């Protein structure tokens, strides 16, 4: 087996197992969980979960940290979340016009994609960023210059698996989600990737991003992918030059 094919086949074979896939998906909110909790999420015994966790850690897809007498596991980094999100775009369930499962509908409006905002709200915010311009970063106390010094890409457009349109990831996407949470605009839901929009958050997203108030009361209309995604791919430079 050639080296390039091995780099694809090895992690793909790990995620081909439904139990390991369930474990990884349970960690897509960026939080860590105990082996016992992950066993419940995957519907297997703790012993079975432990065997799968060892394989995922050995493959550097997961990392663990001690908490008292127990180990807590998390995704090893954003690149794992990006790969999992990309895999969700493949297969018959990702075809246009497909019917979302009840579990997908539960987290469709706003959810964590590791450490950035995804779902209908994430897509809507991403499409407004080029028009809003750099003023939003100043308003949220986000230091773009500091983010550009990180090894992680400043911005990365992921194709949202429920909306089939881009949402913003990368260091900038992570900084934005952190700011939303710190200001009480979004509230994490226990044991879920779902994020609830607070009453303060509804007002803030409308005021700062110019979102339509109807987004928060009814399903948004589907819109074709625009050039927003391509503009955001330029490592954020376009975002800084658009007039406020």
SS (H, E, C) the chain: CCHHHHHHHHHHHHHCCHHHHHHHHHCCCCCCEEHHHHHHHHCCCHHHHHHHHHHHHHCCCEEEEEECCEEEEEECCHHHHHHHHHHCCCCHHHCCCCCCCHHHHHCCCCEEECCEEEHHHHHHHHHHHHHHCCHHHHHCCCCHHHHHCCCCCCCEEEECCCCCCEEEEHHHHHHHHHHHHHCCCEEECCCCCEEEECHHHHHHHHHHHCCCHHHHCCCCCCCCCCCHHHHHCCCCHHHHHCCC
Q: Residue 98's pLDDT is what?
A: 63
CB 110 within 8 A of CB 124: no
| 3-76: CATH architecture | Orthogonal Bundle (1.10)
Q: Residue 93's pLDDT is what?
A: 60
Q: Residue 91's pLDDT is what?
A: 65
The rounded distance, in Å, linking the Cα atoms of 47 and 8 is: 28
Going from N- to C-terminal start, the domains of the chain cover: 3-76, 95-241
Q: Residue 92's pLDDT is what?
A: 62
Write out the chain's pLDDT in tens, 244 residues: 456 777 788 888 898 899 999 999 888 878 888 999 999 988 999 999 999 999 999 999 999 999 888 899 999 988 888 888 778 777 666 555 567 778 788 899 999 988 999 999 999 999 999 999 989 999 999 999 999 999 889 998 888 888 888 999 999 999 999 999 999 999 999 878 899 999 999 999 999 999 999 999 854 444 334 444 444 444 443 343 222 2
Residue with tokens 């939303």: 180
């Amino acid at each position: 087996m050639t080296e390039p094919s091995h780099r694809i086949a090895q992690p793909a074979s790990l995620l081909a197992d439904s139990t390991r896939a369930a474990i990884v998906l349970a960690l897509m909110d960026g939080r860590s969980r105990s082996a016992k909790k992950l066993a419940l999420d995957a519907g297997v015994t703790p012993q079975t979960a432990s065997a799968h966790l060892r394989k995922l850690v050995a493959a550097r897809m997961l990392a663990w940290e001690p908490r008292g007498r127990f180990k807590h596991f998390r995704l090893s980094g954003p690149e794992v979340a990006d790969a999992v999100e990309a895999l969700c775009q493949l297969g018959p369930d990702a075809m246009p016009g497909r019917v979302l499962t009840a579990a997908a509908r539960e987290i469709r409006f706003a959810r964590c994609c590791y450490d950035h905002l995804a779902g209908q709200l994430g897509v809507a915010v991403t499409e407004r960023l080029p028009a809003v311009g750099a003023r939003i970063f100043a308003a949220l106390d986000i230091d773009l210059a500091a983010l550009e010094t990180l090894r992680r890409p400043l911005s990365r457009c992921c194709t949202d698996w429920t909306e089939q349109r881009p949402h913003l990831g990368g260091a900038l996407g992570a900084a934005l989600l952190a700011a939303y949470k710190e200001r009480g605009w979004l509230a994490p839901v226990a044991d879920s990737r779902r994020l609830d929009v607070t009453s303060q958050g509804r007002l803030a997203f409308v005021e700062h991003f110019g979102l339509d108030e109807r987004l928060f009361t009814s399903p948004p209309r589907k819109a074709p992918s625009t050039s927003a995604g391509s503009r955001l791919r330029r490592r954020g430079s376009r975002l800084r030059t658009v007039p406020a």
